[in-house]
Amino acid sequence: MRKYIFVTGGVCSSLGKGIAASSLGSLLESRGLSVCMIKIDPYLNVDAGTMSPYQHGEVFVTDDGAETDLDLGNYARFTASPLSAANSITTGQVYQEVIRKERKGDYLGKCVQVVPHITDEIKRRIYSPGEKEGTDVTIVEIGGTVGDIESIPFLEAVRQIIHERSRRHAISVHVSLIPTVSSGELKTKPTQHSVKTLREIGIQPEVLLCRIATEMDDAMKRKIANFTNIDYECVLSAHDVKTTIYEIPVVYRAQGLDRVVCDRLGMDCKEDKFRAWHRISETWKSSVEVVEVAMVGKYIELDDSYKSIDESLVHGAISNGVRINIRKIDSESLTTPEKTVEALAGVHGLLIPGGFGERGIPGMIAASRVAREGKLPFLGICLGMQIQVIEWARHIAGIPEANSGEFTPDGPSNVIALLEEQVDVTQYGGTMRLGLSESVVIEGTLIHSAYGTINIRERHRHRYEVNNKYRDELENSGLIFSAFTPDDLLVESTEWPSHPWSVGVQFHPEFTSSPLKAGPLFREFIAAAVDKMRKAG
Active site residues: 382, 508, 510
433-441 and 480-484 strand pairing = antiparallel
Paired with 461 in beta bridges are: 434
Contacts of 299 (CB under 8 A, 6+ apart): 53, 54, 305, 306, 355
User: Rounded distance, CA 344 to CA 324, Å?
Assistant: 16
Q: How far apart are CA 232 and CA 218, in angstroms?
A: 9
Do you find a cis peptide bond into 82, omega within 30 degrees of 0?
A: no
Kindly state the helix (H) or strand (E) to which residue 158 belongs, with its residue range. helix 152-165
Spatial distance between the Cα atoms of 424 and 466, rounded to a whole number of angstroms: 19
Q: How far apart are CA 189 and CA 194, in angstroms?
A: 9
Closest CA to 462 of 494, 498, 437, 442: 437
Q: In whole angstroms, give the CA distance from residue 35 to residue 157.
A: 21
Output DSSP code: residue 110: S
Q: Give Cα separations from 425 to 67, 171, 463, 507 (angstroms).
A: 18, 45, 10, 21
The DSSP code sequence of 179-214 is -B-TTS-B--HHHHHHHHHHHHHT---SEEEEEESS
Distances, alpha carbon 365 to alpha carbons 244, 345, 468, in Å: 32, 16, 21
- Which string of DSSP letters, residue by residue, matches 315-367? HHHHHTT-EEEEEEEEGGG--SHHHHHHHHTT-SEEEE----SSTTHHHHHHH
Please give the Cα distance from 465 to 481 (Å, whole number): 13
Rounded CA separation 410/413 (Å): 9
In what helix (H) or strand (E) does residue 238 lie, and over which residues does it extend? strand 235-239
Quickly list DSSP for 386-435.
HHHHHHHHHHTSS-TTEEETTT-TT-TEEEEEE-GGGTT----TT-SEEE
C-alpha 510/C-alpha 310 separation (Å) is: 9
Per DSSP, the three-state class of 287 is coil
Q: Using CA of residue 415, residue 420, residue 426, residue 427, what is the dihedral sign?
A: negative
H-helix or E-strand spanning residue 458: strand 455-462
Query: How far apart (Å, rounded) are the C-alpha atoms in residues 83 and 327?
Result: 31
Q: Looking at residue 86, what DSSP letter applies?
A: G
